[in-house]
Structure 1
Amino acid sequence: PTIPRPLGIRFKEILGELHETIPHLVQKNQYNCYPWLIRLFEEIANNYTNKTVIFTDGSKNQQGAGSAIVVDGVVHSWALNPITSVYTAEQFALWKALVHIPVEPTNKTYLIVSDSLNAINAVKDIYTRDPLARLCQGCLVDLSEHNVRPVFVWVPGHSGINGNEMVDRAAKIAITGPRIDEEHVKMTDVQCHLKQKIIEIWQGKWERQ
């Protein structure tokens, strides 16, 4: 079998045939570990005296997907169906955080911390059709009936906040678990998976021509 040429070379050839050039692309900036980010989070958390902070995160790589939450330094993690997207993994972690909260009257505030603003916003969308967002909304309804109202807090990823770094590592480790803890997967993830497979098949046929 012949070794296919690097994708970058083939891409340049295709651009030449199309008489197209790639303009300068906007670079993706990574959040740095700025001390003021940590202080800001601490100020928000300190507004609540009687509180439990639940850090959440999801991870995805070529091996699979995983989710985790960290509550009072204790890690809870799950290996997900390998075709699960990182967005779904983030949502799954939010749902598990809500499930973790006792459905009983309390004067304690639960802060649910996530670095996925999209996942948080999906829960806030009352018209969403996303099944995991709806599961989260159902939990919120159950909790509110017992006067428990969790507070969602967004933090940038890799911002140096200890709990956030811990849950990030836990979600990555969960991927390597010996078994899949959650086989269910969203239809949107199935569609993306099948689309990728079709592209790979097309790519293979194109390379063999």
Structure 2
Amino acid sequence: MEIKAIKLKLSQYCTVYQAELLAIQKATEEIGKIRTPTFAIFSDSMAALQTIQNPNALHPLAVQTRENLHDLSLQGKVVILFWIKAHAGLKGNERADHLAKEAALKSKRRPDYDQCPISFVKRSIRTETLEEWNTRYAAGDTASVTKIFFPNAKTAYRVVRKFNATRLTTQILTGHGGFSEYLHRFKCKASPSCICDPGIDENVNHLLFECPVFGRIRSELECELEMEINSGTAEIIMQSKKREKFLTYCSRITEMVTNRNKTS
């Protein structure tokens, strides 16, 4: 039977892992107030139980729990920790989950535990860093080609991690590659012009979205993606599931152009 229930409040930035450790630590404190000689603590958190049982784990809650268990053993009390399966219909576990939700959603008192987890610190630093990066990126005069695909640095950070960049995709996304305009800047080619028109510079924007030389494969991709390919839709495509097909198209054009410029 249930003879006592304790609900504890944690700060919003605390993790579920910390909540599980705190619950076990408080349970060992309550055991010290009861005269019964034998106790069992049930938890559905294998990670928390393993941390407590590992003498090398230095999490403050785990250290305090081990100290409590040691003191209880000196009092002649036997405490056994058990792992139970979560969401398996076990009455006690379901009751504990219900109380935990009530404490998280309804409790208005000050937190009983507010130690900041390392994961929160890392996430906060990353967020602030991205904000600063995005501000400098938006205000800067450089990376004009990259901004065609990623006007926002925070979006770029999220999307670039989802595909494997190759030498060809890197050239396209930066504009630093074997394109006539870029080669001409460094005096590696006499003219910046595209083969389609002497009056038009051969750069990423022209090659991908305008050059008639690649009109057929561009049209084929537009039919496949069911949308027009231009400097305005590049950002949308890069954030969608159509990204891989678009990058394949970009790589194909880049390889053809760089190979041609090597021999010209």
| TM-score, normalised with respect to structure 1 | 0.58
The answer for unaligned runs of 5 or more in structure 1 is 1-70
- Seen in structure 2, the aligned counterparts of structure 1 residues 207 and 186 have a Cα distance that, compared at 3 Å, is closer
Mapping 1:55-66, distance limit 5 Å: none
- Seen in structure 2, the aligned counterparts of structure 1 residues 151 and 117 have a Cα distance that, compared at 3 Å, is same
The answer for unaligned runs of 5 or more in structure 2 is 135-151, 157-234, 236-264
Letter in 2 for 1:174: A
Aligned counterparts of 2:113 and 2:126: Cα–Cα separation in 1: 20
Aligned match of 1:87: 17
- Seen in structure 2, the aligned counterparts of structure 1 residues 198 and 156 have a Cα distance that, compared at 3 Å, is farther
Q: Give yes or no for the alignment of 1:170 onto 2:99.
A: yes
Aligned match of 1:99: 29
The one-character-per-residue Cα deviations of 1:96-152 (angstroms, maximum 9, x if unpaired) are 111111257x55311100000110111111111111110101101111110112111
- Contact map agreement 2:37 2:76 (CA 8 A) in 1: no
Aligned counterparts of 2:93 and 2:47: Cα–Cα separation in 1: 17
Question: Among 108, 112, 118, which residue is 2:47 paired with?
Answer: 118
Letter in 1 for 2:82: V
Letter in 2 for 1:178: K
Q: Name whichever structure is richer in helix by fraction.
A: 2
Aligned counterparts of 2:77 and 2:92: Cα–Cα separation in 1: 23
- Contact map agreement 2:10 2:111 (CA 8 A) in 1: yes
- Seen in structure 2, the aligned counterparts of structure 1 residues 79 and 152 have a Cα distance that, compared at 3 Å, is same
Aligned counterparts of 1:156 and 1:91: Cα–Cα separation in 2: 17
- Contact map agreement 2:41 2:79 (CA 8 A) in 1: yes
Question: Among 181, 185, 204, which residue is 2:111 paired with?
Answer: 181
Mapping 1:14-53, distance limit 5 Å: none
Aligned match of 2:87: 158
Residue correspondences, number: 138
- Displaced runs of 4 or more, over 4 A: 202-205
Q: Name whichever structure is richer in strand by fraction.
A: 1
Q: Give the superposition deviation at 1:188.
A: 2.1
- Seen in structure 2, the aligned counterparts of structure 1 residues 195 and 158 have a Cα distance that, compared at 3 Å, is farther
- Contact map agreement 1:103 1:146 (CA 8 A) in 2: no
Q: CA RMSD in A?
A: 2.7
Aligned counterparts of 1:78 and 1:126: Cα–Cα separation in 2: 26
SS state of the match for residue 110, structure 2? Answer: coil
| TM-score, normalised with respect to structure 2 | 0.46
Aligned counterparts of 2:12 and 2:95: Cα–Cα separation in 1: 22
